[in-house]
Structure 1
Amino acid sequence: MTATTVKTTRADRLLNGIERAGNKLPNPFMLFLYLFLITALGSSILAWMDVSVQIPGADEATEMRGFFTGEGLAWFTENLGPNYLGFPPLVTVLPIILAVGVAEKSGLLAALIRKTFGSSPRWALPYAVGVVGVLGSIMSDASFVVIPPLAALVFAAAGRHPVAGLLGGFAATGAGYSTTMLVTSLDALFAGITTAVTATLPNPGDPVHPLSNYFFNVVSAAVLMFLAGLLIDKVLEPRLIRQGVPREQISEDDDGTFAPVPAADLTPVERRGLVLAGISALVVAAVVLLGIFWPDSPWRNEDGAFLPRSPLLSSIVFIVFAMFIVPGLVYGRAVGVLKKSEDVPRMMGDAIKDMMSFLVLAFVLGQFIALFNWSGIGSWIAVGGAEGLQSIGLTGYGAIFGFVVLASLLNLFIISGSSLWTLMAAVFVPMFALIGYEPGFIQGAFRVGDSATQILTPLNPYIIVLLAMLRRYEPNAGLGTIIARMLPFSIVFWLAWFSILSVFFLLDLPMGPGNGIFLEG
């Protein structure tokens, strides 16, 4: 038995152990239903014991309110609908999803990806994959299925190893999923969850909005794009060549599991559509800028400025909506996908269908967050945790490091970013606020742990999809094969991303417009 075989066997045993442990977790809906019931019981016990907590900065102590009391049951029956419909992510995510859905279903986003690949010289292809992969979260989960096979196609066409494109595309997309230079529905989703948690804080800090982590995201995305390309070019592809991994597909799936991958080259009609979409995007941007910088603009605050609070920051969802839907409509019309007015609501409807699992999950998430806030149990845990950190002197850099490590480990078992952030934000946002950290900064720190390790866990369903694609080249490939090749990306991305967070922390740089590191006052 060779050393390589031994390593693969050990990796498989480790992965099988992780898979068995992860499979014991309930699905996200049931997980948060159980957490809701635990919170309901815990809050009731605390209320029966007349427990209260003094939140720093509050005039009076917060009394625990129990779910299984007359007051609690009345609160729940009166607010079942408002708890769901008032769940902040719904307000921000759904409009953006409608617009992104038009841009995606019209073919605009896929055409942009193909244009990026097709215009790249052979030596730059790994870096093009890094750019497209890190930016791929704009397409939500569809990026995991679209980008890897397309990258394999252009690598093969350029005489490079197609498996390097396949695996590199997946690594860049997955490990860099939580950051991008564009504002996406994920930014709105995270911001909505954070806002829901900060509602009961005596000092909620700067308002958290979809741009709250923008500066941090831009820097992180730029670095991760380059590192992804470097790892594909200098680590992944040379290793595939040394291992003698086949360049030609050995087997094809004929069961319809995967949709055909479009050709990398754009047709003349698609190129014309991209040009027109680009012009329309510039027009939208110009109109927005004109409205912003016009004297006495209604989007300024009372002081005539935009920070820290202003109608402009409250209009981010509208701006993102316009920047997606207008180019999407123009492109769809130019290429003939949008032939009649009924096509637009159809595309929007398809986008909502793609989000249906989240809309169902949001029902129980909204109930959990509402109970956590109403009962006061979140404040009780936060104050206790903050006092514990202060008692051991762990309130600075070390606390942030521990938080990111915990997020990375939990991400191996809870793949849904919204589910994991809902779970962690409910406890850690108030806790860190009590020791002086802005909620927007803690949200940015969570992003590091949320993405870097998700390409390592068998609980990620898209790893199974990738494995089926990989077996077209390597029929004997297993989960251990993928994990071994993903590990360098995960380690390097995590170290680089946390280093960027450390620079922002140590230099007290703003994470985004109007959002800093430390709470004032």
Structure 2
Amino acid sequence: MPSLADPATQGGGSPDRGTPDHDPSGSERPGRLDRVLSVIERAGNALPNPIALFASLFAVLAAVSTALALAGVTVTVPGTDDTKAINGLFSGAGLRWLLENLIPNFATFPPIAAVLVMIMAVGLAEKAGLLETLMRATLARAPRSVLPYAVALIACQAHMMSDVASIVLPPLAAMVFKSAGRHPVAGLIGGFACVGAGYAAGFTIGSLDALYVGITQQAASVLPAADGLDIHLLINYFFTASSSIVLGMLGGFLISRVLEPRLGTYRPADDEPENEDLTLTPAQRRGLLRTGLVLALYAAAVLVLWLPSGAPLRGEGGAFVPSPVLSGIVPVLFGAFLLSGLVYGYTVKSLSGTEDVVAAMSASVRNMAGYVVLMFVAAQVIAVFNWSNVGVLLAVKAAALLNSIGLTGFWAVVAFVLLVACLNLFIVSGSALWSLVGPVFVPAFMLLGMTPALSQAAFRIGDSATGIITPMNPYVFLLLAMLRRYEPDARLGTLISRLAVFVVPFLVVWLAILGIFYGFGLPLGPGAGIEMPGR
């Protein structure tokens, strides 16, 4: 990761290619933006690795739980007669519990299996070339005037591809912009901004959703009220799907009307490569057609097994919600991605046999090794929160604090979004950040009458909006390297200032969308309302 003090990345270069941004004296004076970014980078660098951070939190939690247990602290869940004593980890009972549950804590941690299952199938589709071909097919056909909106809409669906989206979509958008006679930097930066700032939106379902909902389930389980809730993969689907349309239109407007006009006229260098041909090959078109037909048949089969009266995938009493389709949506999606990757890969011959399939899926899982280690430690922390009852204590105290200062209802949600947005400048890992704040705020909001689905939706907003402007995001520096293909003298300050155009509008509009759901009591997903049952 380059340092902000590096002259090659500091400052705020000119939008015109090759124009230096030196002050007349020949010395570089960092601007206010650079100073703010330097503070963020230094503060972020001072944080330990997320795994070390959770290990430290585990030690602190163990000590605090023991001290509270020795002091005889108890907590009563409001509205119940359930009084819980704090259990200390550094005690005979605590050590026995840890020895007996260290492995089960990890093995039964909900995000682990769901994320790895999803990443295998999505990784196969990505390695087969299906996802990139889909983006090429969509963008290459977009008219010049519609292109910014097409890029933004696709970018707001891209979390399905996980981090690959930040690598593949921006340069592809730049090539499409250039071939259409528009400024390639607008496509590059706009594509990246919409992928990041709208990362948790979309019609698409991926490993991110499995990750969030697994942690949400664990966080909610500390309260008895969670027993009556159906927390499944689609609890935010209505919210994220509708948000992706609005944010896509907003992103297209910002690219077309705010970002691109400020870039000036693009002047390609003499040695710059010619426009890349984005036309799909006959094999790629055939692959997309076959994949579409197979997916349509697969979806029809799932619906036939779910929708008709008496269908085997109906819920208890013939209910649509909850039902095995929703509780088992991960295997359903796994099948869809697996079929898509196989059909496309064998059609275009990017997959030639079972060895290629296994290698593609294995590579995807191998790339998740760091995540697995992080989840091992996070699982222990969350388990100690639950077993010790410290999580309940913190949730009750947090709810009482919000009540005492008048932050209830939607204003409490807004405050939570802003808190997450600030923390996201320093902890860019969504899994790490949700594992930190979820065990406290999910039950705290439940005590205030708000469902875990609402807490998770609010977290999505704060965790997405500010990630594109923090130096702690390694993909920002990858984007800077891509930008220098078009603007060799581009600097980090210039890049961040352009990305910042998207942060506040996305944050405000996304909060407004959540406010509409909240104000009208609209469900955030199937069977996932705003208020806790019985309110």
Q: 2:282 aligns with which of 258, 264, 268?
A: 268
Equivalent residue for 1:222, pick from 221, 245, 270: 245
Question: SS where residue 46 of structure 1 aligns?
Answer: helix
CA change 1:119–1:2 in 2 (3 A) is closer
The equivalences for 1:95-494 within 5 A come to 95-204=117-226, 206-241=229-264, 246-248=267-269, 263-307=277-321, 309-494=322-507
Structure 1 Cα separation of the partners of residues 423 and 271 of structure 2: 37
Distance 1:367 1:153 in 2: 46
Shift of 1:250: 7.2
Aligned-pair CA distance for 1:248: 4.0
Mapped partners of 1:399, 1:216: distance in 2? 19
Q: Deviations over 1:453-493 (max 9, x none)?
A: 11111110000101111122222222110111011111111
SS at match of 1:288: helix
**Which runs of structure 2 are paired with 1:80-99 in the superposition (5 Å)?**
80-99=102-121
Whichever residue aligns with residue 427 of structure 1, its letter is: V
Q: What is residue 516 of structure 2 aligned with on the other side?
A: 503
Could you tell me whether the CA contact under 8 Å between 1:171 and 1:486 is conserved in 2?
Answer: yes
Structure 2 counterpart of 1:257? none
TM-score normalised by L of structure 2: 0.92
Aligned partners of 2:460, 2:135: CA distance in 1, in Å? 24
Report the alpha carbon displacement of residue 109 of structure 1 after superposing the two structures with TM. 0.6
Give 1:72 shift: 0.7
- Distance apart, 1:14 and its partner CA: 1.3
Give the drift of 1:2.
12
How big is each residue's C-alpha offset from its partner over 1:272-302, in whole Å with a ceiling of 9 and x where there is no partner? 0011001111011000011012331222223
For residue 262 of structure 1, report the CA deviation from its aligned partner: 7.5
From 37, 46, 55, the equivalent of 2:59 is 37
Gaps of 5+ in 2: 1-10, 15-20, 24-28
Q: CA deviation at 1:306?
A: 1.7
Q: CA deviation at 1:3?
A: 12
Match for 2:438: what amino acid?
A
Of the three residues 67, 91, 101, the one matched with 1:79 is 101
What amino acid sits opposite 2:287 in the alignment?
A: G
**Residue 352 to residue 435, structure 1, CA distance change in 2 (3 Å):** same
Where in structure 1 do 4 or more consecutive aligned residues deviate above 6 Å?
Answer: 1-8, 249-252
Aligned to 2:8: none
Aligned partner of 2:413: which letter? Answer: I
Partner of residue 82, structure 2: 60
Give the Å deviation of 1:263.
4.6
Helix, strand or coil at the partner of 1:179: coil
1:169-228 CA-to-partner distances (Å, cap 9, x unmatched) read 111111111111111111111000100111221101522211000000011000011111
Does the 8 Å CA contact 1:386/1:435 hold for their aligned counterparts? yes
Q: Label 1:3 to 1:469 Cα distance change in 2 as closer, same or farther (>3 A).
A: closer
2: CA distance between counterparts of 1:440 and 1:86?
Answer: 21
Q: What CA RMSD, in Å, does the superposition of the two structures yield over aligned residues?
A: 2.0
Q: 1:502 to 1:2 in 2, by over 3 A?
A: closer
Give the SS at the match of 1:62: strand
Gap change, CA 1:509 and 1:249, over 3 Å in 2: farther
Larger deviation: 399-408 or 202-211?
A: 202-211
Contact kept? 2:124, 2:341, Cα under 8 Å: yes
Relative to structure 1, the CA distance from residue 435 to residue 486 in structure 2 (aligned partners, 3 Å threshold; closer, same or farther) is: same
Q: CA deviation at 1:245?
A: 5.6
How far residue 150 of structure 1 moved from its aligned partner, in angstroms, is 0.8
SS in 1 for 2:439: helix
Q: Alignment identity in percent? A: 49
Cα 1:240–1:105 change in 2 (3 A) is same
Distance in 2 (alpha carbons) for counterparts of 1:40 and 1:200: 17
1:29-75 deviation digits (Å, cap 9, x = unpaired): 11111111111111010011111101124433101001100111111
Aligned positions, number: 510
Give, in whole Å, the separation in 1 of the partners of 2:505 and 2:12: 28
Task: Classify the secondary structure of the residue corresponding to 1:53.
Answer: strand
Helix, strand or coil at the partner of 2:506: helix
Please say if residues 150 and 262 of structure 1, whose CA atoms lie closer than 8 Å, have aligned partners that are also in contact: no
Deviation at 1:246, TM superposition (A): 4.2
Paired residue secondary structure (2:262): helix
Q: Is the 8 Å Cα contact of residues 12 and 494 (structure 2) preserved in structure 1?
A: no
User: Which moves more between the two structures, 293-302 or 139-148?
Assistant: 293-302
Match of 2:50 in 1: 28
One-letter amino acid of the structure 2 residue matched with residue 68 of structure 1: F
Q: Is 1:102–1:344's contact at 8 Å kept on the other side of the alignment?
A: yes
Letter of the aligned partner of 2:425 in structure 1?
Answer: L
